[in-house]
Amino acid sequence: MPPGERANEAGFGLELMAQADALYAFARRLCRDSTLAEDLVQETFARALDAREQFTVGSNLKAWLFRILRNLFWDKKRRDRRNPVDPRAGDEDSEASSSDVWLRGDLELERLRRLVSEDIQAALERLTDDARLVVLLDLEGFSDVETAEIMSCALGTVKSRLARARAHLREALREYAQ
Amino acid sequence: MSNCEAARALLMGAVRGRLSATEQQQFDEHLRTCPACERLFARERELDRLFLARPPLVAPASLRAKLEAQLNPEPAAKPKAKPKSPWLRAAALGAPAIAVLLVALLWVQNRGSRDQLSAEAVNDHLRVLYASHPLEIENGGMHQVKPWFAGRLDFAPVVGFMGDEEFPLQGGAVGVFIDRKAATLVFKRRLHVITLFVFRAEGLHFPVHGDTKLGSISASSAHERGFNALLWNDADLGYALVSDLDATELAQLGQKLAAH
């Protein structure tokens, strides 16, 4: 391998390693299983190394890696066919009602402040995979446009899915805080 | 904007700080007249704070080792040529060992001082994250924040960067770093909170050789409990920059801060 190419290879490897923690945290919170999360991150690295010619230098490496990981997660879910069905998924009316319930009284904000990390994780786990994905990507700092690219869906879908998911989260956390 | 529906369409953009100046103004005006939207906005921000205050999840060391191995597969071993003379052979064996020992000593010395400072910086950063009201002065630009420190510290924090769109300044407070008062400045990058501590460097041991160039300054980087930290000293002041932001972006802010 020529020296220039080797340097590029090393640089690409360093950039991948810089994303290892973020990828692991995302995978762990997405699939709720540390072994599976590790497998997903390793597989993401393997795919990224295989497909590195497809990556455009200067574009968003982090978004590209998250997209690979999300696709791997989805492939696995399809294989397992064990995706839990949330009865509230796609229930547009429930968003408004849960939001209205949430708006009752300032006491709710105080309760929210007393929640602990386990409550947050439990509330996240009550979401559907799609809803959890969009919440986690948003919290990771991706814009709605980037999230739409990672999830291969329309921008409007991301916005409505995020609003709905956060309304469900607030509703779930309101229950934990009582 | 008098319509709650329009305000709620802007809500997440406002929480994320992604609205245009006009949109932000319209949103703020609506919030002043609508307690329901104001409460919802406060709760969305609280929800974010809860998520961001969770302990960070970091890749286990065993996973990092496997990833490193994936990136650097073992090359096939090559036969090594042996020096012919016994003296040359001894020198060949001894010189690298001495060099390794010297490098190791320097490394241990550097790492010891870096680790102590980075552990303290991460602890203080966590205090900022967990505090209900971490900022004593809210963002009004560095021209407003810097004078606020006058009379509260026995030194003037030298910080040339006033915040920009990429790294907006959130505000400041007086904190403590190890055993001394520190100017605490909080910046943001997307959802990540970044804390800069500026303190008197006297009596603290900064690493002699940094690994990150911030303009003419050589800073030392550290990774601790899922956070990245940059440490440097300039004249008689010490600086610690900490966040869960990735190391590259943290260095970008470090460069802006060090360029004064």
ipTM of the assembly? 0.76
List, for chain A, all residue ranges whose pLDDT scores fall below the cut of 70: 1-10, 81-117, 176-178
Distance CA B139, CA B41 (A): 19
Distance CA B101, CA A48 (A): 38
* pLDDT value at residue A39: 94
Q: What are the pLDDT digits (tens) for B190-221? A: 888 999 999 988 878 777 777 888 888 889 99
Given a contact cutoff of 8 angstroms between Cβ atoms, the answer to whether A76 and A142 are in contact is no
Q: Measured between beta carbons, which residues in chain A are less than 8 angstroms from residue B132?
A: 113
* pLDDT value at residue A178: 56
Q: Measured between beta carbons, which residues in chain A are less than 8 angstroms from residue B249?
A: none
Distance CA B91, CA B129 (A): 54
* Backbone angles phi and psi of A91, in degrees to 5: -85, 90
- Bridge partners, B138 (sequence order): B171
- Asked if the structure places residue A112 within a domain, the reply is yes
- Asked if the structure places residue A73 within a domain, the reply is yes
Tokens, residue B220: 């030392």
User: From residue A3, how far is each of A14, B75, B122 by CA, in Å?
Assistant: 16, 16, 38
User: Per-10-residue mean pLDDT for chain B, 260 residues long?
Assistant: 81 85 90 90 85 79 89 62 54 59 52 72 80 69 70 83 86 80 89 91 78 87 87 90 91 87
- Bridge partners, B173 (sequence order): B184
**Residues near B178 by beta carbon (within 8 Å), at least 6 away in sequence:** B120, B199, B204
- A156 and A96 together in one domain: yes
Dihedral angle at the C-alpha atoms of A46, A48, A54, A58, nearest 10 degrees?
-160
Burial class (CB in 10 A: 0-12, 13-18, 19+), B228: buried
- A101 and A171 together in one domain: yes
The separation between CA B55 and the C-alpha centre of its own chain, rounded to angstroms, equals 16
Structural domains counted in chain A:
2
Number of CB pairs < 8 Å for A and B? 101
Which residue in the set B50, B70, B189 is minimally distant from A115, CB to CB? B50
Which residue, of A49, A80, A111, is where some domain finishes?
A: A80
Q: What are the pLDDT digits (tens) for B46-74? A: 888 878 777 777 888 889 889 999 888 76
* Backbone angles phi and psi of B223, in degrees to 5: -125, 120
User: From residue A147, how far is each of A114, A153, B32, B256 by CA, in Å?
Assistant: 30, 8, 31, 29
In chain B, what are the domains?
Answer: 4-51 (no CATH), 107-258 (3.30.200.100)
Q: Which of A24, A140, A173 to mutate to probe the B interface, most B CBs <10 Å? A: A24
Which residue, of A80, A101, A117, is where some domain finishes?
A: A80
**Range of the structural domain that residue A62 is part of:** 3-80
Which residue, of A80, A109, A129, is where some domain finishes?
A: A80
Residue B226 touches partner A, C-beta closer than 8 Å = yes
- Asked if the structure places residue A85 within a domain, the reply is no
